[in-house]
Amino acid sequence: MAVVVLGVSSGGCGDGARRQHAVDAALKAASAALVAGDAAAWYFALPTEGASAALVVRQVNVGLARYTWTRVHAKAVPVDGKPGRYTVRFYGQLAHADTSPLVCECVLDFGWRDGRLKVVADRTDQWARDAYYLAFTDPVVLVRPHLVVVGDDWQRPLMARIAAADGQVRRVIRRLQLAPDSPGLGRKTLIYVCASRLQAFEASHAFIDKHMVAGERDGQIFAVDVWPAYWKRYASDIVRHELTHVYAGKFGDGKHYVGLLVEGLAVAVEGGYDFGPLRTEVARGNRILPLKKGLMHGRVWWDGLSDHRTYLAYLEGGALVKYIWKRWGLKSVWAFAAAVSAGDATPVGIERATGRTLGITWGQFYKGWKGYVRTLR
Ligand SMILES: [Zn+2]
């Protein structure tokens, strides 16, 4: 059987392997041209035939050449059943940032013409054009010791406000009691400032709720320039909240995602919340979002951020984390999160996690938490 497979596939494979090799070499040279800022070398690396190919190769160069790159690399993945067609992804590192995110994606047909490998057609879906770093048309990059802020030139006021929150990185690391030699302090977090939710979607392909001003995804932060007065007042708090997500990672990421604890930790580190609505909820019997149900539910969003339960979930999670932190210490917050997320999101699983990590029954814990909420202002 193995011999047959080998015999059948070797001919086609050789052809495909040769082309893949040539595509990889071309993209490597094109990536180097981007880092060098050498447009002529880019066009030499990616010769084209036909109008659509010429246009896409030009668009990607123009779009990415607006940035100054520390490093760029590209990956070409063959599209099944379409010999010569590849999904091409460029990954780029700006200003020695910690990550090399996806900065551009397109689908290209490559073919041999006159003995040379050329781009012969653009097969990129309409919705995928102008995505990722091509979503910024006049980009500027502000570099600080811990933050790299990317946005269009007309977003400069908010970009500067966010860049000024650079010191929040140290604060978050100190609050989370991360070791001084943890990877945190040496790295730079990328923050994208977008003019609208649409631009944020183009830049990240992430859904941004209409009540959202910022979000974290894969260790990167997206900020949307809505509600200028809000940003003016709370920029460093918002940055501190999102940085907590970056530095805490998925926080207790077992099989069950516990949004209440993930957001609760960020709320606790962010500070400054008015817990009045939660005090009212607890005084009325905690019926809108019972704490155990909140832990079992996983995510903290109900029907969008405007839903009252969503706001309560943030406060409940914040009060939960603050209570454990105050009474048992930060290590127990992590242990509790790990135990709850490793469980199966059932009442029994949560009770077991409470007993194992905090040493008391759920009933005792819940009573103590409610008493603590009454003291929160
Ligand atoms: Zn959050």
Q: Tens digit of pLDDT for each residue in 290-325?
A: 999 999 988 887 766 668 899 999 999 999 999 999
The pLDDT value given to residue 127: 81
Q: d(Cα 145, Cα 240) in Å, to the nearest integer?
A: 15
| More confidently predicted of 52 and 6 | 52
Co-location of 219 and 277 in the same domain? no
CA of 116 to the centre of ligand 1 (A): 50
Please report, in angstroms and rounded to a whole number, the separation of the first and last CA atoms in the chain: 72
The pLDDT value given to residue 5: 36
Co-location of 239 and 255 in the same domain? no
Co-location of 232 and 120 in the same domain? no
Q: Helices (H), strands (E): how many in the chain?
A: 15, 9
Q: CB of 333 within 8 A of CB of 321?
A: yes
The residue-averaged pLDDT of 319-347 equals: 95
State yes or no: pLDDT of 353 exceeds 50. yes
Co-location of 146 and 126 in the same domain? no
Co-location of 229 and 263 in the same domain? no
CA of 215 to the centre of ligand 1 (A): 7
CA of 263 to the centre of ligand 1 (A): 5
CA of 304 to the centre of ligand 1 (A): 14
CB under 8 Å to 265, separation ≥6 — which residues? 244, 248, 251, 317, 321, 333, 337
What is the DSSP annotation of 40-70? HHHHHHS-B-SHHHHHHHHHHHHHHTTS-EE
Co-location of 186 and 62 in the same domain? no
CA of 214 to the centre of ligand 1 (A): 8
Co-location of 166 and 234 in the same domain? yes
How many CB atoms are closer than 10 A to CB 288? 16
Q: What is the CATH number of the domain that holds 192?
A: 3.40.30.160
CA of 79 to the centre of ligand 1 (A): 36
Nearby residues for ligand 1 (ion, Cβ within 5 Å): 263, 266
pTM of the entire structure? 0.90
Q: Tens digit of pLDDT for each residue in 243-265?
A: 999 998 777 777 888 999 999 99
Domain that holds residue 121: 2-134
State yes or no: pLDDT of 330 exceeds 50. yes
Q: What is the CATH number of the domain that holds 37?
A: 3.10.450
Co-location of 350 and 338 in the same domain? yes
State yes or no: pLDDT of 11 exceeds 80. no
Residue 183 pLDDT grade (very low, low, confident, very high; cuts 50, 70, 90): low
Which of 113, 134, 155 represents a domain boundary (last residue)?
134
What total of structural domains would you count in the chain? 3
Token digits of residue 21: 């090799």
* CB-side neighbour CA atoms (13 Å) of 225: 20
For the chain, how long is the longest CA-to-CA vector?
A: 79
Average pLDDT, the chain: 91
Q: CB of 165 within 8 A of CB of 236?
A: yes
Co-location of 110 and 141 in the same domain? no
Which of 134, 164, 187 represents a domain boundary (last residue)?
134
Which of 134, 165, 192 represents a domain boundary (last residue)?
134
